[in-house]
Amino acid sequence: MRIRHKPWARPELESCSFYVASPSELRGRWADEFGNGQPLHMELGCGKGGFIADMAAQHPAVNFLAIDLKSEMLVLAKRNLEAKDAHASAHVRLMSQDIERIVQMLAPEDKIERIYINFCPPWPKERDKKHRLTHPRQLNQYRLFLQEGGEIWFKTDDDGLFEESLRYFDQCGFEICYQTWDLAKSGFPGSAPTEHEEMFTRMGKKIKFLIAVADHTGHSVSFSPAE
Ligand SMILES: C[S@@+](CC[C@H](N)C(=O)[O-])C[C@H]1O[C@@H](n2cnc3c(N)ncnc32)[C@H](O)[C@@H]1O
């Protein structure tokens, strides 16, 4: 996605009380960063932050990490959070991080309870599929810091990505405990709409959604933060 450069984005983020400039320094210590004993959820590729702002406002007893590569997106997420959640600084952290190197900022001790992946780029060409945020290369990283029974909630408009992701989750030892090819019709209540979801819904596209559960029995993976 093309996004216009915003020279004010970085300074505005750096003055924000819930922006983390060096997330890798908190690896293994995210619970201490919040200091409230609440479960930890994260959104990968939060974009403009409509979803995380709604979820944070609805769930003050959950801590949230919102991650994107681009400061131009994160600064809009910051503004969304400030508008919707008066308590954001107590239980939300925003950060810039390449998700393909997510283990640089999360360790098994961080025990993430839930990951949200919403409308990640579909990377349809065979040679690019390894960049998908649901590719086995990624799922094996997430397993390292997802707690036993932890969940991944995944939404997309893309049929091919959804179908192949179902296979990826199976290959990596996740159990699919919920899936629908038409989220609006399914009546599933728990997932706030994202900016892309609203756009694709207006275009008449059906939203695909699944919940995958990490089954740690008999599945072992190892990664070092440098990989
Ligand atoms: C299509 S947008 C979706 C945004 C939002 N989740 C939504 O549903 O409206 C995908 C977002 O993921 C981010 N993203 C994609 N790959 C990433 C990566 N490897 N690391 C960090 N962010 C990434 C992009 O910068 C972009 O903001």
- As given in the structure block, the two tokens for residue 19 are 């922006």
pLDDT digits (tens, 9 = 90+) for 211-227: 999 986 545 444 444 43
Ligand 1 closest atom vs CA 120? 10
Q: With a 6 A CB cut-off, is 98 part of the ligand 1 pocket? A: yes
Say if CB 147 and CB 212 are below 8 A apart. Answer: no
The residues that bridge with 96 in the sheet, in sequence order, are 68
Ligand 1 closest atom vs CA 99? 20
Q: How far is the CA of 120 from the centre of ligand 1 (A)?
A: 5
Residue 97 Cα distances to 67, 77, 94, 124, 176, angstroms: 6, 15, 10, 23, 27
The mean pLDDT value of the chain amounts to 94
pLDDT at res. 223: 43
Q: With a 6 A CB cut-off, is 72 part of the ligand 1 pocket? A: no
pLDDT at res. 4: 86
Q: With a 6 A CB cut-off, is 3 part of the ligand 1 pocket? A: no
Nearest residue (CA) to ligand 1, atom 12: 45
- Return the percent helix, strand and coil in the chain, to nearest 5: 40, 20, 35
pLDDT digits (tens, 9 = 90+) for 119-134: 999 999 999 999 999 9
Q: With a 6 A CB cut-off, is 2 part of the ligand 1 pocket? A: no
- As given in the structure block, the two tokens for residue 17 are 């009380």
pLDDT > 90: percent of the chain: 91
pLDDT digits (tens, 9 = 90+) for 89-129: 999 999 999 999 999 999 999 999 999 999 999 999 999 99
Q: With a 6 A CB cut-off, is 69 part of the ligand 1 pocket? A: yes
Residue 77 Cα distances to 41, 94, 155, angstroms: 16, 8, 19
Nearest residue (CA) to ligand 1, atom 11: 45
Q: With a 6 A CB cut-off, is 206 part of the ligand 1 pocket? A: no
Which helix (H) or strand (E) element contains residue 115? strand 112-118
pLDDT mean over 64-68: 98
- The domains located in the chain, with CATH, are 9-214 (3.40.50.150)
Q: With a 6 A CB cut-off, is 155 part of the ligand 1 pocket? A: no
